[in-house]
């Protein structure tokens, strides 16, 4: 186990709704990255937070937003959910520029 926890484990939402996913990073880690993994595909980078600031973003629209707290835990918020947002959302924590350790993910289903 990596020590990275995510909640909830599973979530079902309908189109147009909003969702918040949570991640607790491993002790000693100050960087959190979020990835979206569609079924049967590799993860896609959404964004990264370092010391409470967004530190880069992948090719995702602004309705994907995030937050990092002083204890380095993080939230991923998705507004106006679309069917294609159905995926496994992965959080990874690390110390800056070191190996990323992944949590078990949150499975989001949008109906």
Which chain residues interact with another protein by CB under 8 A?
2, 4, 6, 33, 35, 40-45, 48, 55-56, 58, 90, 94, 97-105
Considering the complex, what minimum distance in angstroms separates the CB of residue 70 from another protein? 22
44 vs 73, which CB is nearer to another protein?
44
Closest CA to 9 of 107, 75, 110: 107
CB of 103 to another protein, least distance (A): 5
d(CA 94, CA 80): 30
What is the CB neighbour count within 10 angstroms for residue 52? 13
β-strand pairing of 44-50 with 101-102:
unpaired
Nearer to another protein among residue 81 and residue 90 (C-beta)? 90
């Amino acid at each position: 186990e990596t020590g990275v926890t995510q909640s909830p484990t599973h979530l079902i939402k309908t189109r147009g709704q909003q969702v918040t996913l949570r991640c607790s990073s491993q002790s000693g880690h100050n960087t959190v990255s979020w990835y979206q993994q569609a079924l049967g595909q590799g993860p896609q980078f959404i964004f990264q937070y370092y010391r409470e600031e967004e530190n880069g973003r992948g090719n995702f629209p602004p309705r994907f937003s995030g937050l990092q707290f002083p204890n380095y835990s993080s939230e991923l918020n998705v507004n106006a959910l679309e069917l294609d947002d159905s995926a496994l959302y992965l959080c990874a924590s690390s110390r800056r520029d070191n190996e990323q350790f992944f949590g078990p993910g949150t499975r989001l289903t949008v109906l």
